[in-house]
A and B are shown apart, each in its own frame.
Chain A
Amino acid sequence: MTEDGVRAATAASDPISERIEDLQFVLGEGPCMDAFASRRPVLVPDLDELGCGAGSRWPFYAPAARRDGLRAVFAFPLQVGAARLGVMDVFRERAGPLSGEELADALDFAEVTVAALLDQQEDTGRGGVPAVDDGDDIGLRSELFQAQGMVMVQLEVSLVEAMARIRAYAYAEDRHLADVARDIVARRLSFDRDIT
């Protein structure tokens, strides 16, 4: 799912998941749609508790998903701030919430997927699993996000593209993302001036 409304399931682990993903687009409702719109995870540990009929949350999607044997759905937005790249859906055949550890894994997985999508966009030719974000070091995470906004304006591109460009630059120069971000915020590095 992209910002301009283009929607498609890009990957599914098995045929049932794929059918359920397609179903959301056909019906125009479901956890994936809600997660995208609200920019938050949508966690439904038991579809049966949503109730059915016209007044329920997903009057068409929920019964259809149940018919395919699904009991729980968890949708995670693939996003960094205002930059949205899609939604990751996780399904289960039994009812019950994700454990704390499973939730943390899902969030990590969503983060890695965002990084992979960004790198694919810029076609850096980089193999393997990409580094997610080395801005875990002190005081640098906010600078990374600020740098994204700055490059967006410098290049007059979307936020997603600005993020992809910063990452591509960091790889090409073999520098840490956090260091590049710091230089951008300090105006030592400008993508419209210094990079052609």
Chain B
Amino acid sequence: MTTVSTERLATIFVEVADTLVDDFDLLDFLHMLTERAADLVSAAAVGLLLADQRGRLEFMAGSNEAVKLVELFQLQTHEGPCLEAFRTGRPVINVNLGKATPRWPRFAPAAAAAGFQSVHAFPLRLRSQVIGAMNVFGDTEGGDFDGSDVPVVQALADVAAIGLLQERSIRRGEVLTEQLQGALNSRVVIEQAKGAVAQAAGVDVDEAYAIIRSYSRRHNRKLSEVARALVAESDILPHVLYS
């Protein structure tokens, strides 16, 4: 990876600021951040994981949501760079996956088999609390972070954490818990909707996700709302499939 461009970084932060003032969809926002982060550091894939109140990391958004990649994110509930970044509150950078099997016996071989060469993870921090981690995968050899890239990517991770606090009364710890649980549940709704669309359209879950996203974008509706409607109101399904 090369040193990030200041110009591109500025563009991303403007986009972020623009999103945060509006009534926005958290999952859409996190998804956008993973796409921008991947683009910014020329990473092969970027994903975000949030911890629930019991400290279990859950996959929230990825620059690409192919089943194989999602499995790599989910694997880190048990071991891997995200779990380390989450537990220590410090970034894990420039780990060569080919040599990481002793460190992560299940994660490292699975990530290498998926075609990745390097992996990094940045804690999602909110004041003194760590609430999750951002995962960055590289697929070129020696494609490592420059020392000056680290704070930049960490800043993007911090922005993702800020996005969680949509409400103004952010001083209350309770609000963070309420938001987190709401966000985790929204992610579950997306998975349920993927299943419903996959079944109804006869496609796999990756294609189903693309259909849902494309529908919500074309109709300017929140991803989470469309997903919820898909599994709670039977009459929207034909519209999403055949519009």
Please determine whether A44 and B193 come into contact, CB atoms closer than 8 angstroms.
no
Chain A residues with CB under 8 Å of B199's CB are: 149-154
Interface residues on B, range: 35 or more
B2 within 8 A of A: no
Q: How far is the CA of A140 from the CA of B173 in the complex (A)?
A: 31
Across the interface, B192 reaches (CB within 8 A) one of A107, A140, A146, A156, namely A146
Going nearest first, the 3 A-B pairs with the smallest beta carbon separation are: A149-B195, A145-B191, A81-B188
Q: How far is the CA of A77 from the CA of B182 in the complex (A)?
A: 10
B77 within 8 A of A: yes
Please determine whether B198 and A146 come into contact, CB atoms closer than 8 angstroms.
yes
Chain-A contact segment, one of B4-12, B41-49, B68-76: B68-76
Please determine whether A146 and B174 come into contact, CB atoms closer than 8 angstroms.
no
B196 within 8 A of A: yes
Q: How far is the CA of A100 from the CA of B193 in the complex (A)?
A: 31
Q: How far is the CA of A83 from the CA of B194 in the complex (A)?
A: 15
Please determine whether B205 and A146 come into contact, CB atoms closer than 8 angstroms.
yes
Chain-B contact segment, one of A5-13, A18-26, A35-43: A35-43
Chain B residues with CB under 8 Å of A136's CB are: 56, 77
Chain A residues with CB under 8 Å of B231's CB are: 81-83, 149, 152, 159
Chain B residues with CB under 8 Å of A44's CB are: 174
Please determine whether B174 and A81 come into contact, CB atoms closer than 8 angstroms.
no
Q: List 6 A-B contacts (CB under 8 A).
A: A41-B178, A138-B75, A142-B74, A149-B194, A149-B231, A153-B199
Please determine whether A43 and B177 come into contact, CB atoms closer than 8 angstroms.
yes
- A45-B174, A107-B53, A150-B199 known; A139-B182 Cβ under 8 A: no
In the complex, what residue of chain A is closest to B179 when comparing beta carbons? A40
Interface residues of A (CB under 8 A from B): 3, 38-45, 77, 79-83, 97, 100, 103-104, 107-108, 136, 138-142, 145-154, 156, 159, 185
Please determine whether B191 and A104 come into contact, CB atoms closer than 8 angstroms.
no
B113 within 8 A of A: no
Please determine whether B189 and A138 come into contact, CB atoms closer than 8 angstroms.
no
Chain B residues with CB under 8 Å of A39's CB are: 182, 185
Chain A residues with CB under 8 Å of B77's CB are: 136, 138
Distance to closest chain B CB from A113 (angstroms): 15
Chain A residues with CB under 8 Å of B86's CB are: none
Distance to closest chain B CB from A40 (angstroms): 4
In the complex, what residue of chain A is closest to B233 when comparing beta carbons? A82
Please determine whether A142 and B191 come into contact, CB atoms closer than 8 angstroms.
yes
Please determine whether B188 and A145 come into contact, CB atoms closer than 8 angstroms.
yes
Chain A residues with CB under 8 Å of B56's CB are: 136
Q: How far is the CA of A45 from the CA of B230 in the complex (A)?
A: 35
Q: How far is the CA of A140 from the CA of B188 in the complex (A)?
A: 12
Starting from the known contacts A82-B189, A146-B191, 6 additional A-B residue pairs (CB-CB under 8 Å) come to: A38-B178, A40-B185, A81-B185, A146-B205, A149-B198, A153-B195
